[in-house]
Amino acid sequence: MEIKYKFVNGEETSISVYGEFEKIILELDRDLKNNNRKETRRHESLSLLDSDKQSIATNTDVYSQTLKNLDKDKLYAAIAKLKPQEQELLLNLYLNDKPMTQKQYACVLGITENAIQLRLAKIKKKLKRIISSNS
């Protein structure tokens, strides 16, 4: 396996790797690619949470609106601490512009609707625990 390096100064070099080192390099590359993909998906899903662009009407109670926004911030912070799969579930069922039904999402994942309900119950308990521990 040939590994090519290109340095900032424009210099290029390559080395040959064989055997056990080749397997390790390929595994590291695959892990790096998967981690980058997970992080990208995580950031994309969290950026959708931040896209709440409601404007405050002049006749609204600023205090209650502020409390509501603080609660949202706590919720979003708690959601950010969940696993990517759990975040994706909440995003698809509640936070998307066009949320899916539990039945639709179960079909997408190839599991039963009951399994979705159980996962949601666990996620809600986890969120309550996270929010109460941060208060």
What whole-number distance in Å separates Cα of residue 50 and Cα of residue 76?
8
Contacts of residue 119, defined as CB under 8 A and 6 or more positions apart, other chains included, come to 86, 89
**Residue boundaries of the structural domains of the chain:** 2-46, 63-134
- The encoded tokens of residue 14 equal 């390559």
One-letter amino acid identity for 4?
Answer: K
Helix (H) or strand (E) holding 4: strand 2-6
Buried b (16+ CB within 10 A) or exposed e, 53-67: eeeeeeeeeeeeeee
Per-residue model confidence (pLDDT) at position 56? 47
Report the largest interatomic distance among the alpha carbons of the chain, rounded to a whole angstrom: 71
In words, the CATH class of domain 63-134 is mainly alpha
Contacts of residue 6, defined as CB under 8 A and 6 or more positions apart, other chains included, come to 12
What whole-number distance in Å separates Cα of residue 63 and Cα of residue 118?
36
Q: Which regions of the chain are under pLDDT 50? A: 53-56
Residue in the block written with tokens 């210099």: 11
What whole-number distance in Å separates Cα of residue 32 and Cα of residue 127?
29
